[in-house]
Structure 1
Amino acid sequence: MKRIFLSLSAIAILLGGAGCHDSLLNMTPGSSLTTSNFYKTSAEINQAVLGVYSTLQSRKQTDYVLMEAPSDNLYMSTVSPITGSFDVDNLVVNPENVVVANFWDATYSGIFRANQVLLNIDNPKDYTGVAKDQYTGEAKFMRALFYFDLVRVYGGVPLVTTQISITEARNQARATADQIYDQIVADLTDAVAKLPAAMVKGRASKGAATALLGKVYIYRKDYPNAMTYLGKAVTDFGYDLVPNFASLWSPATEDNIETIFQMKYIESTNGQTLSTSFIPNGGVYNIVDRGNETALPSWSLNKLFVAGDKRKANTITDLYVAPTRPNDPPQFYPYVSKYATKHPYNNSGLDLPVIRFADVLLLHAEALYNSNDKDGALKALNRVRQRAFGDASHNYAAADIATPDAFLNKLLLERQLELAYENERWFDLVRTGKFTTVMEQEERLYNDATQTPLVTDLSPKAYMAVFPIPQRQIDQYNKDVLKQNPDYTK
C-alpha cells in the first residue's frame, strides 16, 4: 500500500504512456509531471483521466487468471509462466500468492489516479462546455469500477477517496463490503448525472455508468434499483445486439452498438497480449506465428455448446495436433479463440470489452425474474439465445424457467456460453452461491480417442468466495490494522 498512498509531493504523477486511442497517445512522460506543473489546465486533467484508463488497459490483459481460471471455464497450461496461477486454478490460494498481490497493486494504482483527478478537478480555469463534469464523471466511473473489482475479489478493503499520508494509510483498517458498495453506488450515481451520453469508444459514457450501476445493484440483490438502471441501459441509449456474434471479435467491427464500454488497443503501437496468451505454442496459421499457451479451455465448458450455437466458433477452436508417436491418432487440443484475430506476437489491436449489451440483457432478465416478471425475463433471455442460433429454434419456453432454481440454471448457462473468457463466470458462481458445488470437479483436458475427460477434483470452501488479502500489504500496515480474510493462513 505504501506506493499507493504516497502524496504527490513525494512522487511523480503516474500517468503511464498508454492512451485510449491513437490521437491521444502522445502524452507527457509521467516522470516529468509534478504537483507544481500539472493539473493546471483542462487539457492536463484530460491527460490525467486517460492515465486512469491506462491502468485498467494494462491490468485487463491478465484479469483472466483471477477471474476465469478459478472457474470451470479455463485451466492453466503446464507451460504457463505466470507465478501463482496454478494455485488460483486449483483453489489453493494463500496470502503470499503473487497473482492476488499484483491485482491489488494494479487496482489501487487506478484508484490513486482517479482520486488525483478528483482532488485537482477545480484547479483549471479554462474548462469549456461540460468538460469539467465529463472528467469528474469519468474519474468517478473508473474509481467505482476499480472498487467493484476489489470488493468482489477481496470483500471489504481500505476505502480511500482523498489524499492521505503514509502514517495515516498504515493505520487505516478495511471498510466493510457494504461501505465499499455504498461508495460505488455514490460514485456511479454522480457519474450517471455528469457524463455525456455521446462519448468516443473507450471512454465512459452515461450509458456505461447506467449499465454498471444496474450491475452493481444485481450483486446487492437490490432488484428494484437493478430494474430501473438496467432497464434504462436496455432502452435509452441505442445499444443492441449485433446480428453476428463473430463481428464482436474483429478489429474492423469492434466499435459497434453492442459494446458499451471497452479498453482500446492499437496493434504494434499500444497492443494487448491477451490475443496471444491463449494461442498454442506453435502458433495458428493466419493468426500469429507463435503463442504463449498460458491457459486452455475446460471440457466442462466446451461440452455445453450444442450444434448450431454460432458462439462456439468464436469461443473455442477444437484443434487437432499431430501425434508424438507413429500410428497414434491426432491429439485433441482445443484453444480459446475468442480473441484470436490476426496480430503480431503479444501486440494485438483487438479491443477488450468491459461491458457489453448481451451482459446487460442477461442481468436485466435476472432483475425481471426476481421482480416477478417471468415473461419479460424469458424475452430478454431469448434475445441472446436467438442471436446465438440465428433463429428461435432453441429458444427457452416458460416451462424451462418455471421455478427460481430452473431460471437461475438457465441464466447461468446462457451467461457462461455468451460471456466465456470475459471475466464473468467466477463472479457469477460466487454471487449465486453455486461455486462450492459447481467447482467440486472440473473436466479439463478431454481425450477424444477414448471419449473421456480428465476430471480434476477440487475442494472449494465457502470462505473462498473472496481471495486472501495479500500478505505483503498486511506487512506494510501497523500491527493488526489490516485484517486477513477468515480461514486464510500465511
Structure 2
Amino acid sequence: MNTRKQLSIFFMAAALVAAGGCKKSYLDADQLSSYAPETSLGTATAMKAMLNQCGLQIRGEYFGDSAPMLTESIFSDVAVEGTTDKSTPAQDLITRITPDAELNNNDYNKIGYYWDEGFRGVRYANTIITNIDRPKYASEAEKNAILGSAYFYRAYFYYRLVHQFGDVPLLLKDLSEPKKDFYTTKREVILQKMKEDLDLAKTWVPDNVNKGEVTKGAVNHLLTKINLALGKFDDAIASATSVISGSPYGLMTQRFGSTAGDVTKNVVWDLHRMDNKALATNREALFLVIDRDNLASGFTPFGSQVMRNCVPAWHFANLKTPTGKQGIVDAVTAEFPLTRMYGRGIGRYRGTPYSTKYIWTDNTDLRHAKGMWMDMTDLVYNNPALKTSTDAADKAIYGKPLQEYSSSNLNQRFTNGGFDTIRHWFGWPHYKVFINSTNQYANDPYWTPPRGTNTDWYVFRVAETLLLRAEAYYWKNDLGLAMADINAVRGRAQAQLLTDASKVTIGTILDERARELYWEEPRKTELTRIAYIFAATGKPAYNGKTYTLAAFSDNNFFYDRIIEKNDFYKNEVPTVQGVKYRIAPYHVLWPIPADAQRFNTNGRINQNKGYSGYENNVAPLDKITE
C-alpha cells in the first residue's frame, strides 16, 4: 500500500471519516509513521503544497461521473436524480437515505463523500494551522498569508458541513494520534469561530495570487455567507461590499478571452469557456479550482464529466421518430455529429420544470437564448438509416428538428423501455456545460465518448456576491437595494430588469441564483442555510409561514420550497423502475454516517432527527473546548 493511501486511511479513522470495512491496523498509531509534520512541513514551500491539497479537496466536488455536486442538487428545487435504469439512485429519499445506507457510490448518492472529504479538508487545514511556526518565512506577511488561507479552507469545509449535517464535531488542531472521543458541537459555535478566523484572514490574504489560490475576495465572499448564517446582516453587507466595490473584481460585462471575436456568441458564453476562467483579465473569478491534464491524480478526481452528468440521454435507441423508428445515433462520424456538438449525456442531473422552464420568463435573457440554452427540439434526427430509408416520411424528417411529444404520441415516441421523458427529454444550459476537448477529440480520455475534459471551474464569482448582498438587504427589508443587486446580475444577461421592489422576496433571489449558478452553487447547502435563518429570525416567508429552530427538522422552509417548486417530489412522480420521487422535512439535514459513530467509541456524535439513532443523542457542546 502506498504512502498516500496509508495517509488517506489513517485520516479517515482519526478525523471521523467513515471507512466501512477498515482493518483494525488502520486505526493504530503506527499509521502515523506515514505522516511526520516535523520533517515534511519544514518549509514555506511545503506549507503551500499543503494548501494546494486543500484546493484539490474542493475540486473533487465538481468532477467525475456522478460528481458530488449532483447530490447537492437533487436535495433541492432545481433537480432530481434522472438515472431511471436502476432502482438504487437517490430518488425515493425517504427509503434510500439512512445512516447505514450506501452513502458514497455513483449509483446511489455522495452524502458520505461530503462527510469524508469535508473532514479530510478540515484535517489538512488544521495541519497547516497547527504547524504554522515550523518553517522560516521570507516575511511575516508570507506566514500570515499561508495561515489566512488555511483559515479560509477550514471555514469553507465547516460552512458546508454544518449546512449539510447540522451540529458536527469541531476540530481546531492537528491530531497527533487517533482520536475516538469526539462530541458534537453546536452549529452556531462552529460558525462563530469560523467568522473570527476569517475576520483575521481578510487582513492577511492578498488578491495578487496565482489563479486557484485563495484570494482576499474569496475570503470576504465566504465571510459573507457565514455572516448571513449567523444573522449578522450588516456584517454580510460590509464583507460583500468589500468584494463588489473593491479592485480588482467586478462583473464581466464586455467580451473577452479566446471567444471574444465570435460574433455569434456573447459575454456569458465567454465567461464560461474553459480557457477563459483563469485569465488574468477575468475580474469576476474570486476563487477557482484548477484542472489540467498534468495535474492527474488517482487521489482526487480530475477531468470534468459535466456533459455526461447534465445533458439528457438524447442518444438512446428508445427515442423514436413519429413513425416509430430510431431517431438519433451518437456516432461522432455522423453527418450531424450531435455528440461532438453537445456532449453524450446520460441524464443523471434531471433539471426540474421549475429550473428548465418556469424561471425563464422573458426572451431577452442571454442565459436562455437559442444556442446558449438547448431544448430537445433544437436537436435533429441524425440516424443515417432515415436518410436512406424507402419510407418517404423517414427521409423527410432526416436532419430536421426533433418533434415535441404529446399525450397522443407518447408511447410511440418512447418505446423499448417505456415512457421515460425523465431521462431523455429536458433542456439544459449548453453555454455552461459544454466542455470541449482541446486535443481535437483524440487522445483525450474524457472525449471518447465526449462527456467533458480538463477544465477550471468557478467556486466563487462576483455574480454570486451580488446575490448574497441582495439577500442580506432582503433580511433587513431594504428591498430597493436588494433589487438593485439582483438587477446588476440580470442586466449583464440582458434579462428584463425588476421594477417593483415591493415584490422582491427570498424566492426572487433563489430564482436568480438558479438561473446564474447552475453546477456552481451547492443548492442544498444554501437552501438549508436560508431555512435556518427563517427559523432563527421568525421572519415570515413569502408563503406566509413562520418557522422555529425547535421544530427545524419537522417544519422548515427547505422542504416547503422544494415541495412548492420541484414537481417530481411534489407529485411523487414514478420512474420506469416504479420508484417514486419522495422527500421529507427532515432531509433539511443529512444523516451522520453510521460508521463515523461506530468508530467514535469513547464519545458521542449526535444523529439528526428523522434518522435511526437520534434517540441516543446527548446535549451538544455549546462552547469551544480545545
Partner of 1:24: none
Cα separation, 2, equivalents of 1:131 and 1:357: 26
Partner of 2:290: 264
Question: Does the residue aligned with 1:254 lie in a helix, a strand or coil?
Answer: coil
1:260 CA displacement:
0.8
Does residue 93 in structure 1 map to residue 97 in structure 2? yes
- State the identity as a percent: 22
1:126 CA displacement:
4.2
Contact 2:244–2:465 (CA under 8 A) maintained in structure 1? yes
- The one-character-per-residue Cα deviations of 1:395-454 (angstroms, maximum 9, x if unpaired) are 1113xx316xx4222222112211232234333433333322232263359xxxxxx996
Contact 2:373–2:427 (CA under 8 A) maintained in structure 1? yes
Residues 172 and 137 from structure 1, CA distance in 2 versus in 1: closer, same or farther, beyond 3 angstroms? same
1:226 CA displacement:
0.8
Cα separation, 2, equivalents of 1:183 and 1:388: 37
Aligned mate of 1:237, from 247, 253, 256:
247
Cα separation, 2, equivalents of 1:319 and 1:453: 24
Cα separation, 2, equivalents of 1:45 and 1:165: 18
1:175 CA displacement:
0.5
Amino acid at match of 2:129: L
Partner of 1:206: 216
Amino acid at match of 2:145: Q
Partner of 2:475: 370
Contact 2:244–2:462 (CA under 8 A) maintained in structure 1? yes
Does residue 308 in structure 1 map to residue 358 in structure 2? no
Contact 1:260–1:357 (CA under 8 A) maintained in structure 2? yes
Aligned mate of 1:145, from 135, 138, 156:
156
Amino acid at match of 2:352: S
Question: Does the residue aligned with 1:75 lie in a helix, a strand or coil?
Answer: strand
Aligned mate of 1:111, from 122, 137, 141:
122
Amino acid at match of 1:43: T
Contact 1:300–1:444 (CA under 8 A) maintained in structure 2? no
Which structure 2 residues correspond to residues 336-351 of structure 1 after superposition, within 5 A?
337=430, 338-343=432-437, 344=444, 345=446, 348-351=453-456
1:51 CA displacement:
1.3
TM-score when scaled to structure 1? Answer: 0.83
Cα separation, 2, equivalents of 1:8 and 1:47: 27
Residues 8 and 472 from structure 1, CA distance in 2 versus in 1: closer, same or farther, beyond 3 angstroms? closer
- The one-character-per-residue Cα deviations of 1:143-183 (angstroms, maximum 9, x if unpaired) are 1000000001001111011134656x321211001111012
Aligned mate of 1:174, from 167, 184, 193:
184
1:47 CA displacement:
1.2
Partner of 1:317: 374
1:458 CA displacement:
5.7
Instruction: Give unmatched runs, 5+ long, in structure 2.
Output: 1-11, 17-25, 104-109, 254-266, 297-301, 316-329, 331-337, 387-393, 395-408, 415-423, 438-443, 532-556, 614-626
Partner of 1:22: none
Contact 1:39–1:123 (CA under 8 A) maintained in structure 2? yes
Partner of 1:28: none
Amino acid at match of 1:252: D
TM-score when scaled to structure 2? Answer: 0.66
Contact 1:197–1:206 (CA under 8 A) maintained in structure 2? yes
- The one-character-per-residue Cα deviations of 1:68-93 (angstroms, maximum 9, x if unpaired) are 111121221225889653355x7852
Which structure 2 residues correspond to residues 158-197 of structure 1 after superposition, within 5 A?
158-164=169-175, 169-197=179-207
Partner of 2:271: 248
Aligned residue pair count = 457
Cα separation, 1, equivalents of 2:529 and 2:295: 38
Which structure 2 residues correspond to residues 339-418 of structure 1 after superposition, within 5 A?
339-343=433-437, 344=444, 345=446, 348-389=453-494, 394-398=496-500, 401-402=501-502, 406-418=504-516
Residues 44 and 164 from structure 1, CA distance in 2 versus in 1: closer, same or farther, beyond 3 angstroms? closer
Question: Does the residue aligned with 1:285 lie in a helix, a strand or coil?
Answer: helix
Partner of 2:607: 484
Aligned mate of 2:596, from 468, 473, 476:
473
Cα separation, 1, equivalents of 2:382 and 2:344: 19
1:113 CA displacement:
0.8
Question: Does the residue aligned with 2:610 lie in a helix, a strand or coil?
Answer: coil
Cα separation, 2, equivalents of 1:254 and 1:431: 28
Partner of 1:334: 427
Cα separation, 2, equivalents of 1:372 and 1:334: 35
Question: Does the residue aligned with 2:185 lie in a helix, a strand or coil?
Answer: coil
Residues 190 and 315 from structure 1, CA distance in 2 versus in 1: closer, same or farther, beyond 3 angstroms? farther
Aligned mate of 1:422, from 520, 528, 535:
520
Question: Does the residue aligned with 2:435 lie in a helix, a strand or coil?
Answer: coil
Partner of 2:225: 215
Contact 1:359–1:419 (CA under 8 A) maintained in structure 2? yes
Contact 1:121–1:136 (CA under 8 A) maintained in structure 2? yes
1:128 CA displacement:
4.2
Cα separation, 2, equivalents of 1:453 and 1:484: 27
Cα separation, 2, equivalents of 1:7 and 1:210: 38
- The one-character-per-residue Cα deviations of 1:280-336 (angstroms, maximum 9, x if unpaired) are 455643357644542222222111213222112587521257599989559744345
Cα separation, 1, equivalents of 2:152 and 2:27: 23
Contact 2:111–2:590 (CA under 8 A) maintained in structure 1? yes
Amino acid at match of 1:214: T
Cα separation, 2, equivalents of 1:159 and 1:475: 18
1:462 CA displacement:
3.5
Contact 1:268–1:348 (CA under 8 A) maintained in structure 2? no
Cα separation, 2, equivalents of 1:100 and 1:453: 22
1:379 CA displacement:
1.4
Does residue 277 in structure 1 map to residue 309 in structure 2? yes
Partner of 2:561: 438
Residues 233 and 289 from structure 1, CA distance in 2 versus in 1: closer, same or farther, beyond 3 angstroms? closer
Contact 1:215–1:360 (CA under 8 A) maintained in structure 2? no
More off after superposition, 212-221 vs 311-320 = 311-320
Contact 2:221–2:243 (CA under 8 A) maintained in structure 1? yes
Amino acid at match of 1:246: W
Partner of 1:38: 40
Question: Does the residue aligned with 2:599 lie in a helix, a strand or coil?
Answer: coil
Residues 425 and 384 from structure 1, CA distance in 2 versus in 1: closer, same or farther, beyond 3 angstroms? same
More off after superposition, 288-297 vs 1-10 = 1-10
1:186 CA displacement:
1.8
RMSD of Structure 2 on Structure 1 (CA) = 3.4
1:479 CA displacement:
6.3
Contact 1:439–1:458 (CA under 8 A) maintained in structure 2? no
Cα separation, 1, equivalents of 2:85 and 2:227: 36
Residues 250 and 81 from structure 1, CA distance in 2 versus in 1: closer, same or farther, beyond 3 angstroms? farther
Residues 45 and 480 from structure 1, CA distance in 2 versus in 1: closer, same or farther, beyond 3 angstroms? closer
Amino acid at match of 1:342: N
- The one-character-per-residue Cα deviations of 1:111-166 (angstroms, maximum 9, x if unpaired) are 11111111111111243462211111111100100000000100111101113465
Partner of 2:9: none
Amino acid at match of 1:415: R
Amino acid at match of 1:230: A
Cα separation, 1, equivalents of 2:568 and 2:269: 25
Cα separation, 2, equivalents of 1:267 and 1:280: 26
Partner of 1:19: none
